[in-house]
Structure 1
Amino acid sequence: MEEKLEHQFVSNLEKHQNIVHKICRMYTNDQESHNDLFQEITIQLWKAYPRFRGDSKFSTWMYRVALNTAITLYRKSKKDIRTQDFDDVSFRIKADEYNDETEQQLKLMYKAVKELSDIDKALVFLYLEDQSYKDISETLGISEVNARVKMNRIKKALKNILNP
């Protein structure tokens, strides 16, 4: 039974691991922190997996566990984290794929999102992942109406941050 459970877990994790990587990118600034957070989320997912009842999609459950883990660790270690700023990292992108204006806009957007509260950051992440408000509400444990209202407020806040 344990072997079957492990196989199902590994299969689901491999299928949806991009969710965890995206969350790690949202809450860390360097590769070492990203790897540590990815490992911690994987451990928490494995510990919680026997209690996954299948009432929701695996990906929805995974978002919830991963975001809760990231938020908890982020709050615990906020004062101790030494990270490399995103601007200091150099990327190798083919010249035809690189658009400086788009890159600058993305940097500004990420900077603005990092100013939001942990829960608002998670809501933006799920919204940008094209999750439905129903899935967002399930993942964050809030009502669908509350998710919509919060997202509208966040959009206004981001506009104010980006266009002072």
Structure 2
Amino acid sequence: MEKEFIQIINEHQGIIFSVCRMYCTEKADIEDLFQEIVLQLWRSFPRFNRTAKVSTWMYRIALNTAITGIRRRSSRPVFSAISLDQENHAEPPPGRMDIEYNRELWKAIYSLSKFDRSLLLLYLEERPYSEMAEILGLTESNIGVKLNRIKKKLKTILNP
């Protein structure tokens, strides 16, 4: 069982890192959340239904752990001021040409509710609506409605 778990983590650790980066900005916080998520995955592994998709199971556990972790640390700010010139900062993904735009985009993303960030992450990971619905416990049509609202909210924040 342990070997199977380690193999799954090694093959799908990108899911965990994506969730961590969506909820944390500092390298140390990302590492802490990563460890918390792996621990929760290990604890739930004996109950994992092998007929379900591994990615769906991992996203559900990872997102729940991230949201719960934020609630537990509510006395601390959810994110510190975003500063790309800090060495410990988790930088936004490559592919954008303007650092200032990246900074503003990440500020906008971190201003979303925890649930909206979860949905946005799954959307950016190009997960099908059916999988997003299963992970988040919504209908596929509700996923579409919520995504449109998130996109409008981000546009409003970025283009006031």
Find the partner of 1:67 among 63, 67, 71.
63
CA distance in 2, matches of 1:83, 1:151: 23
- Distance in 2 (CA, whole Å) between partners of 1:150 and 1:98 is 26
Q: Where does residue 91 of structure 2 map in the other structure? A: none
**8 A contact 2:82–2:107 mirrored in 1:** no
Residue equivalent to 1:94: none
Equivalent residue for 2:123?
127
Structure 1 segments, 4+ long, off by >4 Å, are 81-84, 97-100
Q: How many Å apart are 1:55 and its aligned residue?
A: 3.8
Q: Within 5 A, what are the aligned runs for 1:78-117?
A: 78-81=74-77, 85-87=81-83, 88-90=85-87, 100-101=97-98, 103-117=99-113
| Matches for 1:1-164 after TM superposition, within 5 Å | 5-81=1-77, 85-87=81-83, 88-90=85-87, 100-101=97-98, 103-164=99-160
Question: Which residues of structure 2 form unaligned runs of 5+?
Answer: 89-93
Q: Distance in 2 between matches of 1:69 and 1:17?
A: 15
Q: Following the alignment from structure 1 to structure 2, what is the Cα–Cα distance between the partners of residues 23 and 10?
A: 19
State whether residues 30 and 85 of structure 1, in contact with CA within 8 Å, keep that contact through their aligned partners in structure 2.
no
Query: What whole-Å deviation, never above 9, does each CA across 1:18-53 have from its counterpart, x for those lacking one?
Result: 111111111112111111100000000000011111
Structure with the higher helix share, 1 or 2: 1
Superposed CA RMSD? 2.0
How far the C-alpha of 1:80 sits from its partner, in A, is 2.3
State which structure, 1 or 2, has the greater radius of gyration over its C-alpha atoms: 1
Q: Provide the TM-score with structure 2 as the length reference.
A: 0.88
Task: Report the Cα distance in structure 1 between the residues aligned to 2:3 and 2:68, rounded to whole angstroms.
Answer: 28
- Residues 24 and 38 in structure 1, CA contact (< 8 A), matched pair in contact too: yes
Instruction: Tell me which of the two structures has the higher relative contact order, counting C-alpha pairs closer than 8 angstroms and 6 or more residues apart.
Output: 2
What residue identity is the alignment partner of 2:114? Answer: D
Shift of the 61–123 alpha-carbon distance from structure 1 to 2, 3 Å rule, reads: same
Would the alpha carbon gap of residues 55 and 150 (structure 1) be closer, same or farther in structure 2, given more than 3 Å must change?
Answer: farther
Calculate the TM-score normalised by the size of structure 1.
0.86
Q: Structure 1 vs Structure 2: percent identity of aligned residues?
A: 43
Does the 8 A contact of 2:24 with 2:78 survive in 1? Answer: no
Q: Which runs of 5+ in 1 are unaligned?
A: 92-96
